[in-house]
């Protein structure tokens, strides 16, 4: 059974044992982190319908919209 999260207590629980751990085991120089992004259902449905209507991949539509927003933000500075 998982322990409840207690933000007031950030100490490591005693039952967690890192004695056999290796520092940097999964580190890869130059690796790029691809952040998973979770959209609200209504946003995803709307954008998926727009992508289908335009005949473009969903990720391309979302990236294009975000790039336009970034341009607007930068222009307003």
Residue 39: which region, alpha, beta or left (left: phi > 0; alpha: psi -120 to 50)? Answer: beta
Q: Residues with Cβ < 8 Å from 23, sequence gap 6 or more?
A: none
User: Would you say residue 6 has pLDDT above 70?
Assistant: no
Question: Tens digit of pLDDT for each residue in 30-76?
Answer: 999 888 999 999 999 999 999 999 999 999 999 999 999 999 999 99
Q: Given this model, what pLDDT does residue 9 score? A: 66
Tens digits of residue pLDDT in 7-26:
666 777 878 888 889 999 99
To the nearest 10°, the Cα dihedral for 40, 45, 47, 48? Answer: 130
pLDDT at 46: 98
- The pTM (predicted TM-score) of the whole model is 0.59
């Amino acid at each position: 059974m998982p322990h409840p999260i207690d933000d007031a207590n950030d100490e490591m629980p005693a039952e967690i044992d890192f004695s056999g751990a290796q520092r940097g085991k999964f580190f890869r120089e130059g690796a790029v982190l691809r952040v998973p992004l979770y959209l609200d259902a209504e946003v995803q449905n709307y954008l998926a319908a727009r992508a289908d209507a335009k005949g473009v991949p969903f990720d391309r539509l979302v990236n294009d919209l975000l790039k336009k927003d970034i341009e607007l933000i930068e222009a307003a500075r």
